[in-house]
Chain A
Amino acid sequence: MAATKTRTSSFSRNLPAASSAQSPEIKCGPNGTFLVSSGIPDLDKTLGGGIPLGSLVMVMEDSEAPHHMLLLRNFMSQGLVHKQPLLYASPSKDPRGFLGTLPSPSSPKDDKSRSHDAEQEKGLRIAWQYKKYFGENQSNLDGQRGMILFRFIVLYNKQEFSNEFDLRRPLDRHFYTGQHVDCISTKDLPNIAALQERCTSFLSQFSRNDATVACTGRIAIQSLCAPQCESSNMEWEMLSFIRSLKSTVRSAIAVAIITFPSSLVSATFCKRWQHLADCLVSVKAIPDEDKELAKLLTGYQDIVGFLNIHRVPRINTQVPAVLEATTLSIKLQKRRYLVLECLNQAPVDGSSGSSYGTSGSCSGASSKSGSLDF
């Protein structure tokens, strides 16, 4: 069929010079994409290895808890540790001050205890996943199989692509005091055009057509459309900005993340924003002292919130990604390390009521109901 035809396309992909073997910060993804780390190894794993270059990630905030900041911090730190230029916009008056709160990569001494467990677990998980693919004859799984083996083999060097960040240790100053880090405050901007211009000029350094580009750019926009910003009422302008940012990022060697207070944007516009995202996640706070949830989930005391993945980036392919679990729990291990885990259902007493379907197993169709509905 089409597989035997030679491609006569006029579109050629200009790859960054420092790709694949040269720089550890980028690795190959499926369908000719390249991936960078989100700064959270568990999230990278769930998204299929990392965030594809050119994607727009949108995070729907929960107005009751600042968990989106955990995602932002790790994302920004990962970029800075890899010396990737960063553009950060926030509604605070002094966005540069925020950089001092970014986490530092954890020291190897702390890492050992965690990665040892992870390594063992991975060993088991890989064997199990590999077995699952026997007997299926889908060609796209070869790529996945290859990726799993790749991860297993280079586990020792895993830290190069993505780091574990210690939230209690701030990042060294030399990482963010440099020309490559730019900050904007969106609070007093009269309209969105100024932000749009800064983003466009920042991204022009990372055009795919330019063969001299050697690194990846990262854009982090915090709380777009927050009510304290003057421009938050201009809904169509905001939408237009996101639309143009999305297309500019797509044609650049860059990744952008935008967090926004979804409950404060009108319902129709919230949906429009969601449609524009390549990767859409939402964070939710966990109610304190919820006895129902405590009975339902193991490790309830350690969970600070939930991360729900609504859409996984699918660039260059039409096949949707079906995740084993779309809801992950956000935990702070030892109050220092951000960990995302599948929800583990506590054993249900056989004599009492129904069981909920949202456990970490790999069953196909799962029905979500009750208090874990999002």
Chain B
Amino acid sequence: MDSRARNLLDEALGLDQLTQSKSPLGGKAVLIEDCVETSGSFVLHQLIKRLLTATSNSSNVVLFLAFANPFSHYDRILLGEEGKAGGGRSGLFALFANITKVLNSLPEGNRKCLTIVIDDVSLIEVAAHGSSDHVLDFLHYCHALTSNHHGCSLVMLNHDDFYSSMDRPVFLKQMEYAADVLVKVKPLATGLAADVHGQMTVLNRDQCNRRGSLNNRMSNFQFRIKENSVEYFYPGART
């Protein structure tokens, strides 16, 4: 990558170890969960920025399925960073067909550079009128694209506070199970603060290491969101 300073989120996502890899997120599926009090969309913005400004790999492509806000909103936040972005809305099947079309239109060697970003999954549920089975199928298909064959990466944003009041939050659990990296964004337990906007937990399920045991890495830190960047720090360690 470039010589930009690593921050805690990069380390937690394992981005610092992927300097030579063509695939920016290592073909992983990342699930970001947030709640009404604290929005997790800044993580999406940061990841997209990271992907589009990586100087070592200028052929990064981001396929952005934006249901939550119009493109002008993201454009303003990302300050003119360009990337190929597209989105389909007419039925999940057609949507997936569009995604595969974009994927196939890329040259063979660059397919691993594709990152599909979904903002956000709950709106796909609304579009499907609540048939969570269809939405799950769609997400599983997208997840299949992250397998070794295609090697794409997937970043999804969802809100977990409405599933938590259900008896059997099957949808949420299935998504959490399928994700390789789980990022949970929460407000501080003590309330609002101008210096610290919230805390996040990142669970990174690495592949088995050589000895066959799993390396699950859990990181917990706080953040403060600024116009163009986000500061991450351990509690109490903010300079």
Residue positions of A touching B, CB distance < 8 A: 1-3, 5-9, 11, 13, 31-32, 138-140, 235-237, 239-240, 243, 247, 250-251, 267-269, 271-272, 274-275, 280, 310-311, 315-320, 322-323, 326, 364-368
Contact = CB atoms under 8 A, between A and B. Distances in A.
Given A138-B226, A323-B192, A318 B45 contact: yes
A138 B71 CA distance: 26
Contacts of A320: 38-39, 197, 225
Contacts of A365: 188, 190-193, 196
11 contacts: A240-B129, A250-B70, A271-B161, A271-B162, A275-B162, A317-B227, A318-B42, A318-B77, A319-B226, A320-B197, A367-B191
A275 B159 contact: yes
Contacts of A247: 70
Contacts of B71: 11
Given A247-B70, A271-B161, A364-B193, A318 B225 contact: yes
A16 B45 CA distance: 29
B94 interface: no
Contacts of A318: 41-42, 45, 77, 225, 227
A316 B76 contact: yes
A267 B76 CA distance: 34
Contact of A367 (B77, B126, B162, B190): B190
Given A275-B36, A317-B77, A322-B192, A243 B123 contact: yes
- 9 tightest CB-CB pairs across the interface, nearest first? A271-B162, A365-B193, A7-B80, A316-B76, A236-B130, A267-B165, A268-B162, A318-B42, A2-B79
B70 A319 contact: no
A65 B235 CA distance: 42
Interface string B16-49: 0000000000000000000011110110010000
Nearest to B228: A2
A274 B159 CA distance: 11
Contacts of B77: 316-318
Contacts of A1: 228
Contacts of B162: 267-269, 271-272, 275
B122 interface: yes
B82 interface: yes
Contacts of A315: 73
B208 interface: no
A139 B80 CA distance: 18
Interface of B: 36-39, 41-42, 45, 69-73, 75-77, 79-82, 122-123, 126-127, 129-130, 159, 161-163, 165-166, 188, 190-197, 225-228
Contacts of B228: 1-3
A3 B227 CA distance: 11
Nearest to A208: B72
Contacts of B191: 365-368
Nearest to A322: B194
A322 B79 contact: no
Contacts of B159: 271-272, 275
Contacts of B122: 272, 275
Nearest to B130: A236
A236 B75 CA distance: 30
Among B127, B191, B196, chain A packs the most CB atoms within 10 A around the CB of B191
A236 B188 CA distance: 31
A351 B39 CA distance: 42
Contacts of B166: 268
Contacts of B195: 364
B127 A240 contact: yes
A236 B73 contact: no
A92 to B, nearest CB: 28
A6 B80 CA distance: 8
B121 to A, nearest CB: 12
A243 B81 CA distance: 27
Given A32-B76, A317-B76, A322 B36 contact: no
